Chain A
Amino acid sequence: NAGVTQTPKFQVLKTGQSMTLQCAQDMNHNSMYWYRQDPGMGLRLIYYSASEGTTDKGEVPNGYNVSRLNKREFSLRLESAAPSQTSVYFCASSEATDRGRGSPLHFGNGTRLTVT
């Protein structure tokens, strides 16, 4: 049972470089999410996708773009990395639809990104 798979696990970038974080889920979930985790701040939502073909901004979208490639895959792109984007990034998925308030999120193991 793979669940939610993220790649890569670790990445170091120089300021101004670009990269794409990959995420795939095998649970046939409708909704997918990207969060970042910073010390003392919990997890903050960057972008989410309620269904294939749709994406919406979360709390901290600046500096990021996303693509919901198909129902399984949801990628996060940093076009020009900045030191403020040093963080641990988590992808998650959920059965949730517009009324799915009680649906839990299933998380990947994270990507630890350092921008120097």
Chain B
Amino acid sequence: GNSVTQMEGPVTLSEEAFLTINCTYTATGYPSLFWYVQYPGEGLQLLLKATKADDKGSNKGFEATYRKETTSFHLEKGSVQVSDSAVYFCALSGGAGGTSYGKLTFGQGTILTVHP
């Protein structure tokens, strides 16, 4: 079945540092890939997505590229801010086998803390 593995956290950075959160996946076929962000006390919000190989998703300075050859979808940001402190989840849907009805398989989440 499908699975998603994220780098273990927590990750602690200083403001304006470069961020990478690694994500690799296992799925047959061509899944869609997502990054979600969860701020304290809230639900998850879609950060960005990519639906086919070599697509780059981007939003709010975050980027991730769908790499089928390495089955990866690493999240990057060039200069983090204190307001980026949150939990980040990598997720996938679909793949081989046809129907998925949008069901997501999530990684375990990475806690990011950014200090001033």
Contacts and interface: CB of A to CB of B under 8 A. Distances in A.
Interface size class of B (residues with CB under 8 A): 20 to 34
Contacts of B109: 40, 42
Interface in A77-115: 90, 92, 94-110
A101 B94 contact: yes
Interface string A21-56: 000000000010101000011111100101000000
A42 B106 contact: yes
**Among A58, A90, A104, A107, residue most surrounded by chain B Cβ atoms (within 10 Å):** A104
**Among B42, B98, B101, B103, residue most surrounded by chain A Cβ atoms (within 10 Å):** B101
A33 B41 CA distance: 19
Interface residues of A, number: 32
A109 B42 contact: yes
A76 interface: no
Interface of B: 4, 31-32, 34, 41-46, 49, 51, 89, 93-94, 98-109
Closest 8 CB pairs of A and B: A96-B102, A101-B94, A107-B43, A42-B106, A94-B102, A102-B51, A50-B101, A98-B99
